[in-house]
Amino acid sequence: MHPIRKKRLTIVLFLVAGIAIAVGLTTYALRQNINLFYDPTEIAAGNAPVDVRIRAGGMVEEGSVARDADSLLVSFRVTDFSASVPVQYEGILPDLFAEGQGVVAMGRLNDQGVFVADQVLAKHDENYMPPEVAEALERSSKGQHKSADVEKAAETTAY
Amino acid sequence: MYPELGQLALILSLLLAVLLSVVPLAGALTGRDSLQAFARPLATGMFVFTALAFVILTHAFLVDDFSVAYVANNSNSMLPWYYKMSAVWGGHEGSLLMWILMLIGWTLAVAIFSRNLPSVMISQVLSVLGMVSVGFLLFIILTSNPFDRLLPNVPADGQDLNPLLQDIGLIMHPPMLYMGYVGFSVAFAFAIAALINGRLDAAWARWSRPWTTVAWSFLTLGIALGSWWAYYELGWGGWWFWDPVENASLLPWLSGTALMHSLAVTEKRGVFKSWTVLLAIVTFALSLLGTFLVRSGVLTSVHAFASDPERGSFLLALLAITILASLTLYAFRAPVVHVRSRYGSLSREIFLLLNNVLLVSATLLVAIGTLYPLVLDYLDLGKLSIGEPFFNTTFSPLAVATGLLLGAGIFSRWKKTDGGWLARKLLWPLAVSLIASALVMIGYGGFAPWAFLGVFAAMWVTVATFWDLWDKSSSRKGRLHGLKRQSRSYWGMVLGHLGLAMVMAGATVVSNYGIERDVRMQPGDRAMVGDYEIVFTDIGERRGPNFTAQYGSFDVYLDGKLVTDLHPEKRQYPVGMSVMTEADIDAGLFRDVFVAVGERVSDEAWAIRLQYKPLVRWLWLGSLVMAIGGFLAIADKRYRIRARDEAGWKNEVQVATGHPAEVSS
């Protein structure tokens, strides 16, 4: 083969191989790591998969936060005002975690229907509401439960 | 009255930018020197007025002029003066103003430091930069005016600067990052100018190189500062979260790194021209994309100040125009590939080509992981997030591959490298790095495949770099003479690669051997983290200038000996009603001991985070070394001695633009 063609062929082969590896790895990694968001209504209705890493979010139900006496285990309920889901978490909660505030948790649903979180995110400041939470509240509060918080949330998401 | 003057200054600056984007370019296209001569004065004028606007905004902060909405939203009379200064870029409008000031500062720098450039080239470059300035000035004037007033209801006090941002890290992080982002606009302008006059050659590459390298160095510093800041200020000891806003800054860094290397090939060997131009366009487009992601409110994070749909669409339009216009130009003007210079299938050219393939793949990966959820969300196909594991599993192999390639590439020669010779050359460095990596594994007490690969890649790069330095510095007049004889750009490369090795080593070791524990503790309790014993002695309260804090006292022991005492805090800022966790860190070159106080879990007990972070400092030190390498590289002599070449280029350009008669040299 002509040396220039040979060289070009090498380059092309290298490129194709590189792209193939990259695409392969990407699709594989993507498939492993996509975390879908479910709101409490969906989880309560059994629409969320068990033992798959998902995101869940809503408001922390008033009076639901309970701490274990000698570990960092904490349990609380997350609600969208039409259904609520029990959440368990062991570790440090974010500074702005509080009852009546919006949170997003990452974790897995176990067979007892408890959401075992490995990460809990709360809002950065008083104006911020996780967009997923805002939308979930919006969906569940068609009409009666429209609290001030929900209205604020809807404003934040209107981009 | 001052704020109105500030706005007026911005408008004047916009007018000058419009002139700058039209007049010199017209002069260059028609070959009229008199029009081209406007380029430098216009750039200077634009800078003066933008700087004036910036000074006026700073003044408004310092004198607590809360009639200005932006000041009222981002400052407070109780804020110490240095935070009032940095609050200027603590919000959307001000940081945009700073961005523009830097863009125009770069434009001015091009005007000043390119005295040797042919005036056709400089006119085109400055015109392109003028166009970019028009876009951003329009953006700030139409959608994000920092001088908007709150009249007649002037608030008595401001709403305070977000306490997250009250920190030295914030004072430094955005300016550095912006210098980098915006700096790539110069490389972009050079690329566009070269496309307009159809001259893509070694001279063009040599002109763009130092600008690209400086921008890259600043971006490196900016990203490192951001990571450092996140590490201690966001409170929980992570140094990289693969958060979309972080990725937004990593994207131009990756493609900018590719650009630097491909520019080197274009300068030295005259090949990869079209590719280099494309990379320059892409890198700048990614900088704009970063701005769009961070500033439009598409992403919600510490960085997104306001979600205003108008701003988002404006930025998106700006991005679309830039990409479409430059790619159209590229499609019509990019040189057809008929490369005259040959290079073998094992040559430095090929190594650098592979470097580019890897870096561009990494860019694509990060882009996919960042944009995929946004696109799905926009199309209403569902809400999902892509977790850190995605980035870790895909990015790590590419990083290791880049390291392995780099170590071998250092020894390669331009045009043709003998395979057998290279293999023999690599044998010893290979053996040395294998042994060294094994020792590191033993030292940290545990083998993990990825840890080994990461440490090995870092060792390999380090050993190869020093080996090459040793080879190159051999001289009959002695080693010292040989070392002195190396050019600054060579030293720049050495530091750049060593810095990269440090970052790789730091990232690998801290991710694999770091220890993180969340424990429930009350005063008097002890807990172990690694070999360190932490004793919680006391908790107290204190008052800061604009906050109150509870602080814990912790004694840190190693082998029964007191190492240090740490005082992490939990701060309450009354004005913004916010809470901040201030970790306390015993920093060291080889390890950090990190203690942060979480929430109070009972009357006596607190949630405490304890961390042992080996080599975590190397991440930022390595970045600093890389950036110093960049600055050293541009101090190379050859960027200054070049008048002769340019004289030749000038004559040819006049022929190329087709107006030889009208141009007097």
What is each CA distance from B451 to A140, B241, B431, B630, B662, in whole angstroms?
47, 19, 18, 28, 65
The number of residues making up chain A comes to: 159
- Confidence label for B579 from pLDDT (cuts 50, 70 and 90): confident
- Confidence label for B110 from pLDDT (cuts 50, 70 and 90): very high
Residue B462 three-state SS: helix
Q: Which residue of A7, A22, A70 is in closest CB contact with B361?
A: A22
Q: Mean of the pLDDT values across residues B223-246? A: 85
**Are the Cβ atoms of A35 and B384 closer than 8 angstroms?**
yes
Q: Is A128 annotated as a binding residue?
A: yes
Q: Which residue of B307, B350, B386 is in closest CB contact with A33?
A: B386
Q: Report pLDDT for A126.
A: 47
Q: Which residue has the tokens 């104006």?
A: A127
Q: Report pLDDT for B630.
A: 96
The minimum CA-CA distance between B260 and chain A, rounded to whole Å, is: 20
Q: Report pLDDT for B536.
A: 95
Q: Report pLDDT for B657.
A: 42
- The answer, for B579 touching chain A at a CB cutoff of 8 Å, is yes
The minimum CA-CA distance between A146 and chain B, rounded to whole Å, is: 22
Determine the residue among A16, A21, A33 to mutate to test chain B binding: the one whose Cβ has the most chain B Cβ atoms within 10 Å.
A33
Longest dimension (CA), chain B: 88
- The answer, for B580 touching chain A at a CB cutoff of 8 Å, is yes
Tell me the chain B residues in contact with residue A76 when contact means C-beta distances shorter than 8 Å: none
* Among B39, B176, B11, residue whose Cα is nearest residue B114: B39
Q: Report pLDDT for B341.
A: 65
- Confidence label for B306 from pLDDT (cuts 50, 70 and 90): very low
Q: What is the mean pLDDT of chain B?
A: 88
**Residue B612: DSSP 8-state:** E
Question: What SS3 string covers B104-140?
Answer: HHHHHHHHHHCCCCCHHHHHHHHHHHHHHHHHHHHHH
* Residue A1, C-beta contacts closer than 8 angstroms, at least 6 positions apart: A9
Q: Report pLDDT for B659.
A: 41
ipTM above 0.85, yes or no: no
Please tell me the least confidently modeled range out of A94-108, B23-37, B503-517.
Answer: A94-108
The rounded distance, in Å, linking the Cα atoms of B221 and B77 is: 31
Record the tokens describing residue A49, joined without a space: 């998969």
Q: Is the pLDDT of residue B595 over 80?
A: yes
Q: Report pLDDT for B478.
A: 84
With residue B537 as reference, give the H or E element that holds it: strand B532-543
Q: Is the pLDDT of residue B652 over 60?
A: no
Question: What SS3 string covers B500-515?
Answer: HHHHHHHHHHHHHHCE
Residue pair B546/B78 in contact (Cβ under 8 Å)? The answer is yes
The minimum CA-CA distance between A93 and chain B, rounded to whole Å, is: 7
Q: Report pLDDT for A143.
A: 39
Give B319 or B383, the one with higher predicted confidence: B319
CB < 8 Å from A in window 249-308 of B: 296-298, 300-302, 307-308
Q: Which residue of B308, B389, B398 is in closest CB contact with A33?
A: B389
Please tell me the least confidently modeled range out of A24-38, B315-329, B548-562.
Answer: A24-38
Highest mean pLDDT among A57-61, B152-156, B199-203: A57-61
The minimum CA-CA distance between A95 and chain B, rounded to whole Å, is: 6
Q: Report pLDDT for A130.
A: 59
Q: What is the pLDDT of residues B365-416, one digit of tens each?
A: 899 888 888 888 777 777 778 878 888 888 999 999 999 999 999 999 898 8
Q: Report pLDDT for B337.
A: 54
- The amino acid that residue B563 corresponds to is V
Q: Report pLDDT for A131.
A: 63
Q: Report pLDDT for B456.
A: 96
Q: Mean of the pLDDT values across residues B186-195? A: 94
Beta bridge partners of B580: B571
Sheet holding B515-521, edge to edge: B515-521, B606-614, B591-600, B584-586
Backbone angles phi, psi at B17, to 5 degrees: -65, -40
The rounded distance, in Å, linking the Cα atoms of B128 and B396 is: 37
Q: Which residue of A7, A22, A28 is in closest CB contact with B364?
A: A22
Q: What is the pLDDT of residues B628-648, one digit of tens each?
A: 999 999 988 777 655 445 445
Residue pair B632/B495 in contact (Cβ under 8 Å)? The answer is yes
* Residue B576, C-beta contacts closer than 8 angstroms, at least 6 positions apart: A125, A126, B159, B160, B162, B163
- Confidence label for B271 from pLDDT (cuts 50, 70 and 90): confident
Tell me the chain B residues in contact with residue A53 when contact means C-beta distances shorter than 8 Å: 387
Residue B147 three-state SS: coil
Q: Which residue of B309, B361, B576 is in closest CB contact with A18?
A: B361
pTM, full prediction: 0.89
* Among B547, B461, B554, residue whose Cα is nearest residue B499: B461
Q: Interior CA angle at B31 toward B29 and B32, to 5°?
A: 115
Q: Report pLDDT for B311.
A: 80
Q: Is the pLDDT of residue B501 over 90?
A: yes
The rounded distance, in Å, linking the Cα atoms of B48 and B56 is: 12
Q: Report pLDDT for B526.
A: 93
The rounded distance, in Å, linking the Cα atoms of B344 and A3 is: 9
| Nearest residue in B to A14, CA atom | B354
Instruction: Spell out, as residue ranges, where chain A has pLDDT lower than 70.
Output: 1, 123-134, 140-159
How many helices (H) and strands (E) chain B has is answered by: 20, 11
**Residue B161: DSSP 8-state:** -
* Residue B391, C-beta contacts closer than 8 angstroms, at least 6 positions apart: B242, B365, B366, B369
- The answer, for B602 touching chain A at a CB cutoff of 8 Å, is yes
Tell me the chain A residues in contact with residue B368 when contact means C-beta distances shorter than 8 Å: 26, 30
